[in-house]
Amino acid sequence: MDATNRTTNPHSPFAPIQPQRASDEIAQQIRQLVSTKQLKAGDRLPSERDLSSTFNVSRNTLREALRSLEIAGLVELKKGGTGGAFIVAGGSGAVVASLLDLYHLGSITPEQLTEARVRIERIVVEAAAPRLTSEDMAALEANLAATQRAEDAGDFAERASIGLEFHAILGRATRNPILAITMEAILQITAQFVRSLGPEPNLFALPSKRRFIALLKSGDVQAAADEMTEYVTKVQDLYLSRANLRTSSATG
């Protein structure tokens, strides 16, 4: 049996190779130019007319490529006389949006979110602790002060939002973009989860975070990581209990 017959055999595990779409090839070329530093954040790409001519494609094909790069967070498309396609610095937007979509579609469960957050938070603490600057510590302490003000005002929704930012500060303090982006994505999903449950007082958050900061200052990284693990486990279990209670009430 020759190769042609094998590819058309309905029992073959192989499928014919599809040629790459022109828009995908354009996007890949632009990615390559970014990776080799020939294009940098802030650079403006040539006009649609010029790019269409260079790639020998229609403007619709070019726009499809640019939209895919925009969704990936690599390009920003601006309108107006000073608009165009601009290379942007890498960020967490595309990753966060993708994971949020998975959460909304039910592909990420609250239980999976809890497991991921508990594990990642400990890694983040251990990575951030030796790299914390005085500015990072000041930001953490300012966050606690803002959380206290929101709690004193009885604004539990604001308190929850500010409280999650505490963990984002730690994520950025790792100086590791993968950890920072992962932490940001988990926190965004957590924020969606918490908003779906509604605001509620949390009497153990501030005391735990104050103990955590004190342990960081003392240099006891493992004890600080233990404190964070205990806190995150407790708060996530609280969220899960509320979610399960709400589900039981709705079906009961």
**pLDDT (tens place) for every residue of the chain, 252 residues total:** 444 444 456 665 655 555 668 898 999 999 999 889 899 999 999 999 999 999 999 999 999 999 888 877 789 999 887 889 999 876 677 788 889 899 999 999 999 999 999 999 999 999 999 999 999 999 999 999 999 999 999 998 899 999 999 999 999 999 999 999 999 999 999 999 998 888 788 889 999 999 999 999 999 999 999 999 999 999 999 999 998 887 766 665
Where does a domain end: 40, 65, 87?
87
Q: What pLDDT is stored for residue 4 in this prediction?
A: 45
CATH of the domain at 72: 1.10.10.10
What's the Cα-to-Cα distance from 234 to each of 123, 131, 155, 183, rounded to whole Å?
17, 27, 21, 18
Q: What pLDDT is stored for residue 91 in this prediction?
A: 67
Instruction: Assess whether 132 and 232 both reside in one domain.
Output: yes
Instruction: Assess whether 73 and 154 both reside in one domain.
Output: no
CATH of the domain at 100: 1.20.120.530
Instruction: Assess whether 111 and 74 both reside in one domain.
Output: no
Three-class DSSP labels, the chain: CCHHHHHHCCCCCCCCCCCCCHHHHHHHHHHHHHHCCCCCCCCECCCHHHHHHHHCCCHHHHHHHHHHHHHCCCEEEECCCCCEEEECCCCCHHHHHHHHHHHHCCCCCHHHHHHHHHHHHHHHHHHHHHHCCHHHHHHHHHHHHHHHHHHHCCCHHHHHHHHHHHHHHHHHHCCCHHHHHHHHHHHHHHHHHHHHHCCCCCCCHHHHHHHHHHHHHHCCHHHHHHHHHHHHHHHHHHHHHHHHHHHHHHHC
Burial (CB < 10 A; 0-12, 13-18, 19+), residue 208, is middle
Instruction: Assess whether 156 and 245 both reside in one domain.
Output: yes
Instruction: Assess whether 80 and 116 both reside in one domain.
Output: no
Instruction: Assess whether 166 and 61 both reside in one domain.
Output: no
pTM above 0.75, yes or no: no
Selection from 112, 93, 92, 31 nearest residue 65 by Cα: 31
Instruction: Assess whether 32 and 133 both reside in one domain.
Output: no
Instruction: Assess whether 68 and 99 both reside in one domain.
Output: no
Residue 111 to residue 75: CA distance in whole angstroms: 34
The boundaries of the domain holding residue 205 are: 93-251
Where does a domain end: 87, 116, 135?
87
Instruction: Assess whether 97 and 187 both reside in one domain.
Output: yes
Instruction: Assess whether 103 and 184 both reside in one domain.
Output: yes
Which contacts (CB < 8 Å, 24+ apart) does range 22-29 have? 22/55, 22/57, 22/61, 22/65, 23/57, 23/61, 23/62, 23/64, 23/65, 23/68, 24/65, 24/68, 26/51, 26/55, 26/57, 26/61, 26/62, 26/65, 27/65, 27/68, 27/69
- φ, ψ at 225 (rounded to 5°): -65, -40
Say which residues have a Cβ less than 8 Å from residue 52's Cβ, sequence separation at least 6. Answer: 58, 59, 61, 62
Instruction: Assess whether 112 and 36 both reside in one domain.
Output: no
Where does a domain end: 55, 87, 119?
87
Instruction: Assess whether 47 and 82 both reside in one domain.
Output: yes
Per the structure, the count of domains in the chain is: 2
